[in-house]
Amino acid sequence: MKKVSYLVLFFLLILSLVGCSSEKTTPPSATDTQVKSTEIMISAAASLKDSLTEIQKNYGQKKLEVKLTINFGASGTLQQQIEQGAPVDLFISAGKSQVDALEQKNLLVKESRVDLLGNDLVLVTGKDNSKITSIDDLTKAAEKVSIGTPESVPAGKYAQEALNNLKLWDALQPKLVMAKDVTSVLNYVETGNADAGFVYRSDAQNSTKVKVVSVVPENSHKPIVYPAAILSATKNKQVTEEFLKYLQSSDAQQVFTKYGFKTLTK
């Protein structure tokens, strides 16, 4: 009987060991295998919305472990948000002055700064507008002309500079409709709330409701450059550096070109 008892106990012991072993080798669930993502906060000029949204999707498919969160707005407004402590890893401005201001306050990783893109400033009207065919026509054929607020919107600053050099600024002052960003300028023209407006070529290209009647002469304003830089307060420097490098790659630059931007990086 003792031998039988010992055999039973031995058999039970073997079963328990097999059970433990099977528990240890159970395949992990889908939840267990999920990769913990790192979130990058990006502040970008409103004119980049379409192109960066596509790039955001493309990059997300390449880098499952990285989550891109993008805040679009007027470059001057985004600059102020950063100065006030907004948690931003990467800033892409439509003008140099905003990035210069942040650099002077030591809020950027200086060596990360790069001139990412270029653009053209154009005059647009509604598709059916036949009265305005040039910038000179604005003085007599337009009741309302929209530009971005020059103090916070780089496109508005370029427009103001160009109109001053073309000797039209003073004459157009009573007709100007200021907008919070270049996207709003485009919307005013699309909806008929302005007869014409100054926007970037990239914005005009992606609208079916406006037409470009004139490209503003490049020698009438400073070169349009979109600089990008990493914020010194970032806690994800390496991951942000990798994304900024991707923005300079041929894949990303092809997307920017598709949306009407000029490539500057090599």
Confidence of residue 37 (pLDDT cuts 50, 70, 90): confident
User: Using an 8 Å Cβ cutoff, are 180 and 148 in contact?
Assistant: yes
pLDDT exceeds cutoff 50 at 21: no
At 92, the amino acid letter reads I
Q: Is 27 left (phi over 0), alpha (psi -120 to 50) or beta?
A: beta
At 37, the amino acid letter reads S
In sequence order, what are the beta bridge partners of 91?
43, 229
At 71, the amino acid letter reads N
Residue 30 is classified by DSSP as T
67: which 2 tokens?
Answer: 């989550």
First to last CA, the chain: 87
Superfamily of structural domain 121-220:
Periplasmic binding protein-like II (3.40.190.10)
What are the tens digits of pLDDT across the range 150-165?
999 999 999 999 999 9
State the CB neighbour count (10 A cutoff) for residue 14. Answer: 10
228: which 2 tokens?
Answer: 């990008």
Q: Which residues contact 258 (CB under 8 A, 6 or more apart)?
A: 51
Q: Quick one: pLDDT at residue 266?
A: 56
Q: Where are the domains of the chain?
A: 38-118+225-263, 121-220
Which of 205, 139, 201 shows the shortest CA–CA distance to 175?
A: 139
What are the tens digits of pLDDT across the range 125-137?
999 999 999 999 9
Note the CATH architecture for domain 38-118+225-263.
Answer: 3-Layer(aba) Sandwich (3.40)
Backbone CA torsion sign across 177, 182, 186, 191: negative
Tell me the pTM. 0.80
Instruction: Assign 190 to helix, strand or coil.
Output: helix
CA–CA gap between residue 143 and residue 99 (Å, rounded): 35
H helix and E strand count, the chain: 11, 11
Burial class (CB in 10 A: 0-12, 13-18, 19+), 11: exposed
In sequence order, what are the beta bridge partners of 40?
68
Report helix angle 154-165 to 182-190, nearest 10: 70
What are the tens digits of pLDDT across the range 193-233?
999 999 999 999 989 999 999 999 999 999 999 999 999 99
104: which 2 tokens?
Answer: 């002077």
247: which 2 tokens?
Answer: 């923005």
pLDDT exceeds cutoff 80 at 27: no
What is the radius of gyration, based on Cα positions, of the chain? 28
The answer to whether 38-118+225-263 and 121-220 have equal CATH topology is: yes
Q: Quick one: pLDDT at residue 206?
A: 85
